[in-house]
Each structure stands twice: as structure tokens, then as C-alpha cells.
Amino acid sequence: MANIDEIVAAFQPWRESVKRTAYRPIPRDGHHPGHLSHFGGSPMLAADQQRPICGRCGAILSLLIQLDLVRLPENNLPWQAGLFQLFYCPSMEDEKGNFCDDFEAFSECHKLQVIESNASLVATEAGPFDFPAKDIIEWKPFVDLPGAMEQDLLGLRFDYDFKPNETHVSVHWDEANLHFLDIVDENDNLAELISSAQEGDKYLGWPNWVQGVEYPNCPECGEEMHYFLQIDSENGVDHMFGDVGCGHVSYCPNHPDQIAFTWACG
């Protein structure tokens, strides 16, 4: 009978078929004028714009991240140039009982936008509502794999038999006629050993889902949106989403003005 290491190794062709390149943002504390990609700090805005406010509590929204789209290391997004911005209200609860640290897609406590490259940009002043600024000075590529929650959508099938003192699992890759039956999974982590999505902030790659697969649906066409950016707790931005939650940004390829931010925690 094959051991766990041999089983994991046998799925290397599957991993090769589903791997994606992701990019890790490398931040530097502080913000230098003219550097347009950064976590936190104050945003550039179009000349006719004001700082967005929370639709729930009325506070000025904090900038989580601003990206200079033309300088991304790889860009198959609907927007090839301009500035992508994610604004967020981190207020846990105000004097009126408003709770704005919202995990729902299309929340009134978020604003996501792309400012077109031909817009006249104006710098805004930082305020007490802004997170510490950190310029993104580099993007480091790495190989990213899907998390266990998406493996069944990508051709793997797991059958579990939970016995009183141990878990037995059978794993199948039907397309390749690869089957391992009745494996004792002592640590209940065979799926994660076969492939796991990376934690931390990243651009592209695979989302590291915390509770389940949660691609939002576009409110205009109803189709599943495409993930492209992960913002993790206390990485580039000094904020924790719930209990060490992880956030994801998605867009609709049919309606590029529809951009969503969601997060979940354990």
C-alpha cells in the first residue's frame, strides 16, 4: 500500500495542470510621492472626486490598496491602465450601533473603483482614518495551487469514512484513472497535502478560502465573478478582518464596473 508521500507525489501531473502564477507584493514602510501602488495611505482621486464615505456610518472610507494597473507584473484584467482602488470602513461599532467592518460583497461600507488613465489625478491629504502607507516596491512571482475546497471542481474526488478512532479516505482522479483506496489519513490533511492555496497578500493565483468557495455573482448578469486579488489580515494593511480573516477582490468579465470585496474568517 502506498504511503502518504507516495500518494501526494502521484498527483504531481494534476498539480501541473492546475497551477497558476501568483505575485507577492513586497511593501516598504512609508509612501513616496509619485509611487502609485501602495497599501493604506491616502488615495489619488480624479479632479472631480471627493473621498468616498461609508454608506452606513458616514465616515470617510479608508484606502486598503491602490494599484497602478499598467505596472502590474501580468495583466489580463478588463482594465489595462489607470488606478484600481479598494476603500473600506473598518469601524467595528460606533455610538449609533453601526457595524461597518462588513464581509458581504457589494456592501455600502466598501467602494471599489478604477480611475481611467486619462483622468486628471489629484493627491489627497492623509487623515486619522487612513492606514499607515506602505509602497509596493516589487512583485515576487510564485507557483500557487488551488485549496482543498476547489479540488472537486478540478477533477479530484474524495470519499471519507470516519471511523471511531481514525479517518479513512479514498481519492480519485478519474480523468487519469488514478485511484487510492481506504487510506488512513492520520492528520486529516491529505487534501491539503495534495494542494493548498497560499496565504497572505497576493495578486492572481488561487484564493485561499477560509470557510468555503465564495466567488460572488455579478448583480447585473448573475454570472460567477473572477478573483484577482487577495488581502490578508495584518499583512500589507494593518487591519484584521474578523478573527484573522482573509479578503478577496473579484470582477465580472462581462461588466467590468462590477467589482466586489468579500472576506471570511474561521
The per-residue pLDDT for range 149-183, each reduced to its tens digit, is: 999 999 999 999 988 888 899 999 999 999 999 99
pLDDT band at 94 (very low <50, low <70, confident <90, very high): low
**More confident site: 220 or 97:** 220
In-domain check, residue 218? yes
In-domain check, residue 150? no
Place of cell 468579465: 253
In-domain check, residue 151? no
User: What is the residue range of 119's domain?
Assistant: 21-145+197-264
CATH number assigned to the domain comprising residue 55: 2.30.320.10
Q: What is the reported pLDDT for 190?
A: 95
Whole-structure pTM over 0.85, yes or no? yes
In-domain check, residue 14? no
In-domain check, residue 174? no
In-domain check, residue 29? yes
Cα–Cα distance for residue pair 232/199, rounded to 1 Å: 7
In-domain check, residue 4? no
**pLDDT of 253 higher than 90:** yes
* Residue burial 59-79, b: 16+ Cβ < 10 Å; e: rest: bbbbbbbbbbbeebeebebbb
What rounded mean pLDDT belongs to the chain? Answer: 94
Q: What is the reported pLDDT for 120?
A: 93
Query: How would you list the strands of the sheet with 83-88, edge to edge?
Result: 110-115, 83-88, 62-68, 38-39, 134-144, 20-29, 202-204, 226-232, 246-251, 259-264
- What value does the mean pLDDT take over residues 43-50? 94
In-domain check, residue 136? yes
Q: How many domains does the chain have?
A: 1
Q: What is the reported pLDDT for 95?
A: 65
Q: What is the reported pLDDT for 1?
A: 67
Q: What is the reported pLDDT for 21?
A: 98
